[in-house]
Amino acid sequence: MSAAERLPELAGFPDHSAELAALIGQSTGTPNLSPDAVNLPMIRHWVEAMGDHNPVYVSDEAAVANGFDQLIAPATMLQAWIMRGLRASDEIEAARAAGTSQGGGPSDRMMALLDAEGLTSVVATNCEQHYDRPLVIGDRVLVRSSIEAISEPKRTALGTGRFLTTRLDFTAVHNDEVPADPTPEEIVELAERGEPVATMKFRILKFLPPKREPAKPPRPRPALTQDNAFWFEGAKHHALLIQRCTSCGTLRHPPLPACGTCRSFEWDTVEASGRGTLYSYVVVHYPQVPSFEYPLPIGLVELEEGTRVVANLVGVEPDAIEVGMALEAQFIDFDAELSLPAFAPAGGAA
Ligand code: ZN
């Protein structure tokens, strides 16, 4: 793919198409030889664990009655035979971490080239399987892995990336044919002359991770009622409102439907000056909600009009907060729908 044809989202990343194309068809290293021959105890454990009660896996008689020459291993066990085991996996991981890994095979090179192209995310997409013959007791399983296909960059719902297909060719030889401690060359030879058992094509997508700022979730919405909506509406217009009984003139906050003094339902509002003093406060450290910054100082502010309001304290270090300090309101616009008063030291001095 020429530079002019490249998808714009890949601009700024190198194009390794030619190097990747050269890897297609390459084998990804020495074949794996199963450490054990196919055997009844392992089959027995497998079918017990899987709850598979088909008798052809444990009884020659049942297998013959079903058209086989002898009992067979479940097809689902195929990869179990060639698993290298926990200790070998740990050793490989340790070597990789220490930088002493043999590595550098076509598969590692392919992954490094794709990472360099910016395609650092990975997801398995599908696995096609084809079986040639069942495994039987005494088989030694070998598997060769090769890079079958690397697609051009394509757009997918997950992001732009390349599909990679790794092909696994499973063959088997009789255990008697395997030397005691086979050399890599002998293993290659065994894999090549082994009888085909199965083929698996394992496809993954390596893709460009979507560019997303770790978005801070929006500030939680207030629970609006017909009694308190005016207060938040006022805040949206940067007005700090106090509810006032129109019957007796008593101010009240937080908003309530009726006057606590004369029980009148009639009310209007007055706009507070925004000046007040700190009556009490807390500094919240935990639990932390992602839409807030911590430590989070919250004050109970006594307004000069006499009512108290709970609001964030800003412009002051938590250690410098003192009960009684003079404060003044400012408004913070969190988003298009939500503005709230916060209180800072009066005159800007902490
Ligand atoms: Zn009243």
Cα–Cα distances in angstroms (integers) from residue 106 to residues 27, 44, 147, 184, 297, in the given order: 7, 37, 8, 17, 56
* pLDDT at position 329 over 50: yes
Helices in the chain by DSSP H: which ranges?
17-23, 40-50, 60-65, 78-81, 86-98, 106-116, 184-193, 229-236
For the chain, what is the mean pLDDT?
91
* pLDDT at position 56 over 90: yes
60 phi/psi in degrees, rounded to 5: -60, -40
* pLDDT at position 1 over 70: no
Nearest alpha-carbon partner for 120 in 228, 208, 193: 208
Tens of pLDDT, residue by residue over 174-229, are: 999 999 999 999 999 999 999 999 999 999 999 998 876 667 788 888 999 989 99
CA of 250 to the centre of ligand 1 (A): 5
Tens of pLDDT, residue by residue over 235-286, are: 999 999 999 999 999 999 999 999 999 999 999 999 999 999 999 999 999 9
pTM: 0.58
pLDDT at residue 101 in the model: 62
Q: What percent of the chain lies above the pLDDT cut of 70?
A: 95
pLDDT at residue 100 in the model: 66
Going along the chain from its start, the domains and CATH numbers come out as 3-36+106-207 (3.10.129), 229-348 (2.40.50.840)
Cα–Cα distances in angstroms (integers) from residue 267 to residues 244, 246, 304, 335, 341, in the given order: 5, 5, 20, 29, 22
pLDDT at residue 176 in the model: 96
CA of 266 to the centre of ligand 1 (A): 8
CA of 236 to the centre of ligand 1 (A): 27
CA of 258 to the centre of ligand 1 (A): 8
pLDDT at residue 4 in the model: 45
Q: Would you tell me how many other CB atoms lie within 10 Å of the CB of residue 244?
A: 19
**149 membership: H or E segment, kind and range:** strand 139-150
34 phi/psi in degrees, rounded to 5: -60, 135
Average pLDDT over residues 321-331: 97
pLDDT band of 63, cuts 50, 70, 90: very high
Q: Would you tell me how many other CB atoms lie within 10 Å of the CB of residue 291?
A: 11
* pLDDT at position 349 over 60: no
Instruction: Answer positive or negative: Cα dihedral of 68, 72, 76, 80.
Output: negative
- Paired strand residues for 139: 174
Instruction: Answer positive or negative: Cα dihedral of 127, 133, 136, 138.
Output: negative
pLDDT at residue 301 in the model: 98
pLDDT at residue 67 in the model: 96
Side-chain-side CA neighbours of 333 within 13 Å: the count stands at: 6
CA of 231 to the centre of ligand 1 (A): 19
Tens of pLDDT, residue by residue over 103-120, are: 567 888 899 999 999 999
pLDDT at residue 102 in the model: 57
CA of 227 to the centre of ligand 1 (A): 16
Q: What contacts 301, CB < 8 A, 6 or more positions away?
A: 276, 277, 278, 279, 308, 309, 310, 311, 327, 343
* pLDDT at position 92 over 50: yes
* pLDDT at position 3 over 50: no
CA of 269 to the centre of ligand 1 (A): 13
CA of 249 to the centre of ligand 1 (A): 6
CA of 241 to the centre of ligand 1 (A): 17
pLDDT at residue 86 in the model: 86
Quote the CA–CA distance of 248 and 246 in Å, as a whole number.
Answer: 6
* pLDDT at position 350 over 60: no
CA of 225 to the centre of ligand 1 (A): 21
Tens of pLDDT, residue by residue over 297-324, are: 999 999 999 999 999 999 999 999 999 9
CA of 193 to the centre of ligand 1 (A): 99
